[in-house]
Amino acid sequence: MQAFQYKKANDVDGAIGAGSTAGLKFVAGGTTLIDLMKLNVERPTMVMDINSLPLTKIEKTADGGLRIGAMVRNSDLAHDLTVQKGYPVLSQALLSGASPQLRNMASTGGNLLQRTRCYYFRDTAYPCNKRNPGSGCSAIDGYNRIHAVLGTSEHCIATHPSDMAVAMVALEASVQVKGSNGERTVPLKDFYFVPGSTPNRENVLAPGELIMSVTLPRLADGTRSYYLKRRDRASYEFALASAAVVAQMQGRRFQRIRIALGGVGTKPWRSTEAETVLESHEASAQNFRKASEAALSGAKAMHDNAFKIELAKRTLVRALTVVTSAA
């Protein structure tokens, strides 16, 4: 680990003011950053601790939605009664991730910004365009079992690791950020970039900008939601494929549906293709399979991860089956 200076932020404006300093990284729970510093993947010259910032509330919005402070811990969010009752897909996604100890430390903002678990990104002995632009992508010709099949490019096939973000994309969450130029709100589906030719650029944050909160819209009465995660072991493991489904039903027909996939995309993957197949149509095994085929129609497999395509299809079918089982 490279030596670094440590500072503690006393307020939001002070943190933002220092945020554009070259070599500075913000740290909240540290569940990703500290690991990467130990591996010399992240090499900040200054670390600013933002744990004292007053961004720890979960509160209703004026229009009946929910605002989640960036410093709310994953465990607190997962066990919040309003979340469990009104947004169960989010609670399920959070509880499927990491371990209780890590969830006690990880923050909402930090979860959204966590880095990929690509073996080659985390090992500085290998070239990686995400870590060192222009050096090459070792995963393409390497061992790529855990890598993405959606949103990839010739420069990067790394998978986005967050469970929480997948659920939030299906919930049509928005992210409130603040920087030296003021505050702005970004729909979460637009917050992340696909790698293209610049995989080192992962999201829309400008230098010095902080995530302040995440807002979930009010869901119509009777909305159902569910998160299903497939992985190599039952706990403390990242998704090979996951599906978040948020649906309003009218009898056995989908009145409105939102679908996001995890474990298979270079970012949390909203599938408008699957939504189009299902919206205004009947909940049936045949339509579920059609939706899953549409969701993975653009998938591109590598030599070790072709199984993910069928796994993701079956995961989505199962999630749709569960969410409509009481209809």
| pLDDT mean over 97-106 | 97
Confidence grade of residue 326 (pLDDT, cut at 50, 70, 90):
low
Provide the pLDDT confidence category of residue 152 given band limits of 50, 70 and 90: very high
Average pLDDT in the 131-150 region?
98
pLDDT higher than threshold 80 for residue 327: no
pLDDT at 49 over 80: yes
| Cβ–Cβ < 8 Å for 183, 299 | no
Beta bridge partners of 256: 248
Q: Which has the closest alpha carbon to 155: 190, 131, 119?
A: 131
Q: For residue 243, what are its two tokens?
A: 């599906």
The answer to whether 158 and 199 are in contact (CB under 8 A) is yes
Report how far residue 222's alpha carbon sits from residue 88's, in angstroms, rounded to the nearest whole number. Answer: 12
Burial category of 35 from C-beta neighbours within 10 Å (exposed 0-12, middle 13-18, buried 19 and up): middle
Q: Could you list the beta-strand ranges (E) of the chain.
A: 5-8, 24-27, 46-49, 58-60, 66-69, 174-179, 182-187, 210-216, 224-230, 241-250, 253-262, 269-270
* Residue 154 confidence (pLDDT) above 70: yes
Q: Model confidence at 213, in pLDDT bands (50, 70, 90)?
A: very high
* pLDDT tens per residue, range 221-252: 999 999 999 999 999 999 999 999 999 999 99
**Per-residue pLDDT for 26 more than 70?**
yes
Structural contact between residues 174 and 185, judged by C-beta atoms closer than 8 angstroms: yes
Tell how strand 24-27 and strand 46-49 pair up. parallel
Provide, rounded to the nearest whole percent, the portion of the chain with pLDDT above 90: 98
SS3 content of the chain, % helix, strand, coil (to 5): 30, 25, 45
- Give the confidence band of 20 by pLDDT, cuts at 50, 70, 90: confident
Q: What are the pLDDT digits (tens) for 273-299?
A: 999 999 999 999 999 999 999 999 999
Taking a C-beta distance cutoff of 8 angstroms, is the pair 244, 89 a contact? Answer: yes
Q: Let me know: does 159 contact 118? Beta carbons within 8 Å.
A: yes
Instruction: Give the separation between CA 105 and CA 30, rounded to whole angstroms.
Output: 8
Side by side, the strands of the sheet bearing 241-250 are 224-230, 241-250, 253-262, 269-270
Please state the length of the chain: 327
Query: For residue 138, what is the DSSP state?
Result: H
Interatomic CA distance for residues 274 and 285, integer angstroms: 14
The two beta strands, 182-187 and 174-179, are antiparallel
Average pLDDT on 77-91 reads: 98
**Per-residue pLDDT at 123 exceeds 80:** yes
Band of residue 265 on the pLDDT scale cut at 50, 70, 90: very high
Does the pLDDT of residue 122 top 80, yes or no? yes
What is the SS3 assignment for 16? helix
User: Strands, DSSP E only, in 86-206?
Assistant: 174-179, 182-187
Q: Can you say how many angstroms the Cα of residue 294 is from the centroid of all Cα atoms in its chain?
A: 21
Residue boundaries of the structural domains of the chain: 224-323
Query: pTM here?
Result: 0.98
Share above pLDDT 70 across residues of the chain, in percent, rounded to a whole number: 99
Task: Determine how many CB atoms are found less than 10 A away from the CB of residue 204.
Answer: 14
**Span 7-28, mean pLDDT?**
95
Distance CA 49, CA 26 (A): 6
Q: Can you tell me the mean pLDDT for 152-170?
A: 98
Architecture of the 224-323 domain? 2-Layer Sandwich (3.30)
| Closest to 111 measured CA to CA, from 126, 125, 95 | 95
